[in-house]
Chains A and B, each alone.
Chain A
Amino acid sequence: MKKHDKSLMTATAQASNQGAVHPEPWLNPDARPMVEIRGLTKRYGDTVAVNRADLKIYKGELFSILGASGSGKSTLLRLLAGFEAPSEGSILIDGVDMTAVPPYERPVNIMFQSYALFPHMTVEQNVAYGLKKERVPGAQIRQRVGDILETVKMGHLAKRKPGTLSGGESQRVALARALVKQPKLLLLDEPLAALDKKLREHTQFELMNLQDELGITFVVVTHDQEEAMILSTRIAVMNHGRFEQIGTPSEIYEYPKNRFIADFIGKANLLQAEVTAVKNGIVTAFSEELGAELDACAVGQQVPAMGSRVWIAVRPEKIFISKESPAEQGSGGGRTVFRGTVEGLGYFGNLSIYRVELASGKILQVSAQNRVRTARKTVEWDDQVFISWDIRSTILLEV
């Protein structure tokens, strides 16, 4: 067991040594971005689809642009591919200004949501199309097409027409067709949306492996936050044509910048409160909904002024639920504790979700892993329970 641990450790150490100059290039001020978007704006008549967006994406990243429909993410993708010209601002790829460069001259390829395979060409011809347009010699085309089809495990279907392929197969062909030109940047428009659940999970990891193997910078546009969380090195959350927050999945989840992000990414109990005290970086705020004061740590953010209105969020899985008082269990320090009644319960097998009604009438959502194997529930409907969380789990949001 110990031996195994050791080998695992050396393996990770090696991996980080072999990796790029900086494992997190966005933290390195000297790193040169692969894609740089400066003040990018796109207007359609009176509507602003993309609004003064600034963004840097680095080589080898798997970057996701996450947003609901109408957030401007698809427009941003089309701007990157060159199908739309920006109203203002510029796009640089590998240091070269691409703003006025047509799509057929950009070192960018896109995998469409609909895959857009040419129906009158075979799989092979589809993949070869881009190389033919580049006037790559025939022998080389055959070699590269064969290789990439093997990479995506589609070699055996090379002679088939797209109409005869399944959804997953079409997706692989579309991916191969976009990758065969070895672009500096690969754009993926909702890459997994058209696949069924089982295939999605499988494909997710394949995409990540492929990206790792080829070292091409991927930009994924998606509305599916789970997809973005699993795939990405970093995520930019888009809303009304702007980036609400740019960060790693865990940064965005654990340290959401504002109410929109906290609500949009994952689940959160949101409370409005008024700041009553600030001491040693710990902010105390009174929530009318709870009829109580809450403590929160201000992490890497401006400490709000006394008397200002703030939003407070607590993630359901950060809340501990028990029938006994947590103080008795010896974990009372630095925790916020409430009493309540289980008003709703959802059993998912691996975890349970509880709706706990507090004395003030406010309902908080709590989720807990079902760690112990038992057919009887430890906490039932209408049980009197204690809920508690570490004050470091309390998220203080910019309004």
Chain B
Amino acid sequence: MKRRSTGLLTMVAFGYAFLYLPLLSVIVYSFNDSRLVTLWGGFSLRWYRSLLDNENILAAALLSLQIALVSATVATVFGTLVALSLNRLGRFKGRTLLTGMVTSPLVMPEIITGISLLFLFITLSEWIGWPGSRGAVTITIAHITFSMAYVTVVVRSRLSGMGQSLEEAAMDLGGRPLAVFFDITIPAIAPAMISGWLLAFTLSLDDVVIASFVSGPGATTLPMLIFSKVRLGVTPDINALATVIILLVSAGVITAAMLTQPKDKSRAG
């Protein structure tokens, strides 16, 4: 065994502490009995109970989940289609540009995505009278737009690692193109699609900036609700809510990471 230097270990510990201490304190204080956020008053689950009694929070959570489910599903379909077509089109002029453009939402400031989508919805509603009012539908559409890019990136990397020979083999054995797509392509990229879906789901669940821009009266997602509540001061039930979300999101991210990891390391060729 190689001895690891204590300096290196300290740095790693410091790094992880920096990342996780704030989250840890939120989780610990969510079990705090005291009404004051910064003062420990013994263990209690009362804030979790009060969460369940809060109709506003439950409604917002339900809306967020609905939006996340729908937008992640649609984004997975669209994102996969984009990945497939970029992969199949072969070389052509402007392919690099097109590929880059697909991934640009990953680095685009959310506030700009939010503003531009808001403009789009306003213009559309003036021109074709839709959407009449902004709310859950516009948030869902906005979330599809930006999370699609993540799905595309994940699925594309899987596709390019796969090569053509699997599909060619299936075609050689008598599979027509559509059959090959469902028999071979979909099962082969399914892990990437699932992990893309989970990413899209958590992104949608997290988002407050874009949602705030494109939402209308009556449609408040969970992150939006938290944000508005915190502006009036942090209350202990927010800690409990945050803990629930942290658990949900990390479960999603970990599953996604596990699915994208190659399972069989002894791949031939």
Contacts and interface: CB of A to CB of B under 8 A. Distances in A.
A177 B173 contact: yes
Contacts of A134: 174
A109 B269 contact: no
Contacts of B266: 163-164
Contacts of A116: 165-166, 168-169
Given A116-B169, A119-B188, A181-B174, A129 B183 contact: yes
B170 interface: yes
A130 B174 contact: yes
Interface in A168-184: 170, 177-178, 181
Nearest to A105: B174
Contacts of B267: 119, 163
Given A112-B165, A116-B168, A133-B179, A194 B173 contact: no
Contacts of A120: 187-188
A103 B168 contact: yes
A177 B263 CA distance: 23
Contact of B171 (A103, A117, A194): A103
A109 B173 CA distance: 7
A118 B182 CA distance: 13
A108 to B, nearest CB: 7
A83 interface: yes
A104 interface: yes
B252 interface: no
Interface in A108-141: 108-110, 112-120, 129-130, 133-134
A109 B166 CA distance: 14
A104 B172 contact: yes
Given A116-B166, A116-B169, A119-B188, A194 B269 contact: yes
B163 interface: yes
A344 interface: no
B173 A130 contact: yes
B182 to A, nearest CB: 12
Contacts of B188: 118-120
A130 B172 CA distance: 8
Interface in B156-193: 163, 165-166, 168-176, 179, 183-184, 187-188
Interface of A: 81-83, 102-105, 108-110, 112-120, 129-130, 133-134, 161-164, 167, 170, 177-178, 181, 194
20 contacts: A103-B171, A104-B171, A104-B172, A104-B173, A105-B174, A108-B172, A109-B173, A110-B169, A114-B268, A116-B166, A118-B170, A118-B184, A118-B188, A119-B188, A119-B264, A130-B173, A134-B174, A162-B264, A177-B169, A194-B268
Q: Shortest 3 CB-CB distances between A and B: which pairs?
A: A114-B269, A163-B264, A130-B173
Given A118-B188, A194-B268, 10 more contacts: A104-B174, A109-B172, A113-B269, A129-B173, A133-B173, A133-B176, A133-B179, A161-B264, A170-B268, A178-B173
